[in-house]
Structure 1
């Protein structure tokens, strides 16, 4: 599953890693958060190193839809439901500053993008109340949104019962802008190491990041890894890992000119792609949605097929070009977590919880992280940094966390029960399939991918959840806190730090 943005893309590999090297700042992760933070800090004259386990824009950034919007579906209404208007405005102001920084960078770097109206829409009349709530929250936060009835929308090939629209939002190629960020970062003297996997971070006695190749030292450390790779603060319990899916199509005739995101389910996201905001070639359409908690889907492949069926129904003649998915994290209190890591002695910082809106939240987080690292006077910082950084936990946040905790506990229990009910030997899985079985009381994950059958431990190396097979991406996913592993047990993402134990196959399994 390769994102549209990664077709024929040559991404920089950086320089060889030198264990023991020292820098002012070490950033872990070469996605949008890590790269925007690194560029801001190098512009300020600091010596910055970025390390990345995979390649630039490896995970969430490379799987982004490329929609940069302050409207954000129903997000503002969801925040406003449990928080004061001042906090919603602060969230919008942060995202506005993030958007302005990224578009200004794109202008500076010669990365093209497109201004488009963005719509939060209801697919049925049942969703109209949420559309109105989104409009009210957006207006209260200072956005010039407009309510639209179906007749005001013109002709849309898919069902729309009503919408709220915000003009002058952006579509951009997330991988192209990531590559431009790397180009400036390296030109300004930054250091990039790809293929270097972080295995931990410490503040004492010297701030450092541990890697599989040895330590790298920095006075400041930024964990731009989606879910933090440290359990300090228990942030893995304060966010939910969500996967969503995208399919790109060549569509006969004209492609829609605006962007759309439904506020009712099943989620549908529509984004046109042109030469100005995509990889070039024939104009395309990206359709996304069907998000779900990681590791808690009966069939991820069925969710992708559902997007294809929906598109063919409403865009007859559409021809699929690419399909992919991405993982992001949503905080239980709806606002991203950004700042100093507990017990990090002020040397370790992190950012997480963008709820799929990383194109604006990532540079906003980078602005705040940079201000903290540079020691910018609080009085000189935008007010939103203070408001978001000192928000209070409200009863609704605790309730949502309790509900998610109950779901995690249920997933933990059901995973072990299911594994115990399927003893080895098991038939060799068909191509692209995986099964969890019980071998002497230990859950074993057996899969066949590219003709190779492998057996690994089915127990997540984070907190012991039994893994679930992802049949769309052929990965082992943890339903507890969203760690993911390749068929051979290699860790891909999430709070887990270690690979799964590889097991010898028996003749039966």
Structure 2
């Protein structure tokens, strides 16, 4: 499960932690949000440290499809359905600034990109209305979209009943970008602490992050971790975690070089990879197909969904050998707009960003611009207009309804998970290779799995809010269906709002 982008990349070594050191800003997370924020601040003369549990681009930032686009499926029409045009335009403007920042950074740092046309299309008649609605919302928000002509529809790589297109977008190798940003940050004097887990964030008596290498103190802290790693503000209940998968293939024929995304279900994402935006050392073109989206921990078989995606790709495109397969996790706010700003009940010392809904390559640098603006001390009147609009948006009834619906699902999943766990008792038969099962031992759910020939038992109760974990048969992980925390087969925390791993039982 290694992304195409990570198969041939030289990662920076980072800098050693100096326990007890005080910085102006400590940023948790070395994805695009964290590194863009860090580079903005260190170039403004601040003492900045970035702390990352793994390496750079460990999670979503290094595992996306490399599409830098302002046309984002049906995002704008989904927003416009329940929000005023001013908010939709602000969202588009934020992403436009994010687009300009990331493409300028790529050009400055020598990271190649290719210019592409982004296309949102209907796979059948049922999706035509969604395409039309997206076209109208995008035009209203100031994007120069157009409806595809009959010739363009016929020339597409898949059947398209209708399509909206936006020219002048970009494709990129995201890991090349992240590596360049990290190197530029360190060269400018920043501290990059990799393979250093943050255990807790505290505000009083002095703001600090507690890591497994010791504490780091700061005037301000930024959580660039996907889901915030603190429950202040209860944002875990205001976002939903979604996983999706990608597969790359060698190409054995021609496929148009647009960046395609379906407006109707099942969602399919398609783009070619060329020597200019991420192809391997031999420069041979490849095809990335994405899909298999589902709420974290709430599907019968992640592996089965991926196999269905692969079968569709082989039936549809002139592909040869599969080269890579990978998954990523994204978070969507219930009101469809990212949360960016000050974390409640932190005395204004902790900032965060979350809820990019799979469009982090533009939303992440936009978030970085806003957070950096605030930390540089810029007054509200000095900030870009979209920052003010998004920062003061109102919650509408539809937002509350979506949140209530999602949290009702969480409650139902929690109840079902406990009921199913206690219906099976240990000992259980040794799971087959790559399989896992949940049973109860003295009334407590236990997760038993076999990976690489080793059978392990861990607590199957998420340490965040007590959800019973589900086995992910594609990635061999324990996933929480409540708020999307994830753990390795050994119980180590991977991501999500949980701050600790699982208790090892055997």
User: Fold match, TM over 0.5?
Assistant: yes
Q: Does 1:387 align with 2:389?
A: yes
- Residue in 1 that maps onto 2:411: 409
Tell whether the 8 Å contact from 1:311 to 1:318 is kept in structure 2 after alignment. Answer: no
Tell whether the 8 Å contact from 1:150 to 1:160 is kept in structure 2 after alignment. Answer: no
Q: Distance in 1 between matches of 2:154 and 2:124?
A: 17
List aligned pairs for 1:357-372, cutoff 5 A: 357-372=359-374
**How far did 1:349 drift?**
0.3
Q: Does 1:26 align with 2:19?
A: no
List aligned pairs for 1:418-497, cutoff 5 A: 418-497=420-499
Q: Give the CA RMSD over aligned residues.
A: 0.9
Q: Helix, strand or coil: the match of 1:232?
A: coil
Q: Distance in 2 between matches of 1:305 and 1:339?
A: 40
Q: Distance in 2 between matches of 1:494 and 1:297?
A: 18
**How far did 1:151 drift?**
3.6
Tell whether the 8 Å contact from 2:259 to 2:270 is kept in structure 1 after alignment. Answer: yes
Q: Does 1:188 align with 2:185?
A: no
**How far did 1:272 drift?**
1.0
Tell whether the 8 Å contact from 1:255 to 1:283 is kept in structure 2 after alignment. Answer: no
- Residue in 2 that maps onto 1:152: 152
Tell whether the 8 Å contact from 1:150 to 1:161 is kept in structure 2 after alignment. Answer: no
Tell whether the 8 Å contact from 2:154 to 2:160 is kept in structure 1 after alignment. Answer: no
Q: Does 1:113 align with 2:113?
A: yes
Q: Distance in 2 between matches of 1:305 and 1:450?
A: 21
Q: Helix, strand or coil: the match of 2:270?
A: strand
Higher mean C-alpha deviation, range 372-381 or range 458-467: 372-381
Q: Does 1:72 align with 2:72?
A: yes
Q: Helix, strand or coil: the match of 1:318?
A: strand
Higher mean C-alpha deviation, range 140-149 or range 120-129: 140-149
C-alpha deviations, 1:303-358, integer Å up to 9, x for none? 11111101100114432110000001000000000000001111100000000000
C-alpha deviations, 1:24-55, integer Å up to 9, x for none? 10000000000000000011010100000001
Q: Helix, strand or coil: the match of 1:225?
A: coil
Q: Distance in 2 between matches of 1:157 and 1:57?
A: 30
TM-score, reference length from structure 1: 0.98
**How far did 1:150 drift?**
4.4
Tell whether the 8 Å contact from 1:172 to 1:278 is kept in structure 2 after alignment. Answer: yes
C-alpha deviations, 1:46-99, integer Å up to 9, x for none? 010000000110000111110010010000010001100110000000000001
Tell whether the 8 Å contact from 2:253 to 2:318 is kept in structure 1 after alignment. Answer: no
Q: Distance in 1 between matches of 2:142 and 2:16?
A: 48
Q: Distance in 2 between matches of 1:54 and 1:129?
A: 43
Q: Does 1:353 align with 2:388?
A: no
* C-alpha distance 291-357 of structure 1, shift in aligned 2 (>3 A): same
**How far did 1:149 drift?**
4.8
- Residue in 2 that maps onto 1:228: 228
* C-alpha distance 387-317 of structure 1, shift in aligned 2 (>3 A): closer
Higher mean C-alpha deviation, range 146-155 or range 475-484: 146-155
Q: Distance in 1 between matches of 2:3 and 2:24?
A: 34
- Residue in 2 that maps onto 1:48: 48
Tell whether the 8 Å contact from 1:207 to 1:347 is kept in structure 2 after alignment. Answer: yes
**How far did 1:293 drift?**
0.6
Q: Helix, strand or coil: the match of 1:82?
A: coil
Q: Distance in 2 between matches of 1:303 and 1:354?
A: 23
Query: Which of these residues, 325, 330, 333, is aligned with residue 332 of structure 2?
Result: 330
**How far did 1:364 drift?**
0.1
- Residue in 1 that maps onto 2:269: 269
Q: Does 1:218 align with 2:202?
A: no
**How far did 1:156 drift?**
2.5
- Residue in 2 that maps onto 1:11: 11
C-alpha deviations, 1:206-259, integer Å up to 9, x for none? 111111222101111000000000000000000000001100011112232101
Tell whether the 8 Å contact from 1:23 to 1:48 is kept in structure 2 after alignment. Answer: yes
Q: Distance in 2 between matches of 1:317 and 1:325?
A: 20
Q: Distance in 2 between matches of 1:101 and 1:60?
A: 19
Tell whether the 8 Å contact from 1:14 to 1:191 is kept in structure 2 after alignment. Answer: yes
C-alpha deviations, 1:427-463, integer Å up to 9, x for none? 1000000000111101000000000100000000100
**How far did 1:159 drift?**
1.6
Q: Does 1:123 align with 2:123?
A: yes
C-alpha deviations, 1:131-153, integer Å up to 9, x for none? 00000000000011111254433
Q: Does 1:319 align with 2:325?
A: no
Q: Distance in 2 between matches of 1:149 and 1:494?
A: 43
* C-alpha distance 279-20 of structure 1, shift in aligned 2 (>3 A): farther
Higher mean C-alpha deviation, range 261-270 or range 280-289: 280-289
Tell whether the 8 Å contact from 1:485 to 1:499 is kept in structure 2 after alignment. Answer: yes
Q: Distance in 2 between matches of 1:174 and 1:425?
A: 45
Q: Distance in 1 between matches of 2:284 and 2:448?
A: 41
TM-score, reference length from structure 2: 0.98
Q: Distance in 1 between matches of 2:349 and 2:23?
A: 13
Q: Distance in 2 between matches of 1:271 and 1:306?
A: 18
Q: Helix, strand or coil: the match of 2:233?
A: helix
Q: Distance in 2 between matches of 1:208 and 1:369?
A: 18
Q: Distance in 2 between matches of 1:120 and 1:160?
A: 9
Gaps of at least 5 residues in structure 2 are: none
- Residue in 2 that maps onto 1:173: 173
Tell whether the 8 Å contact from 1:68 to 1:99 is kept in structure 2 after alignment. Answer: yes
Q: Distance in 1 between matches of 2:205 and 2:288?
A: 49
Q: Helix, strand or coil: the match of 1:209?
A: strand
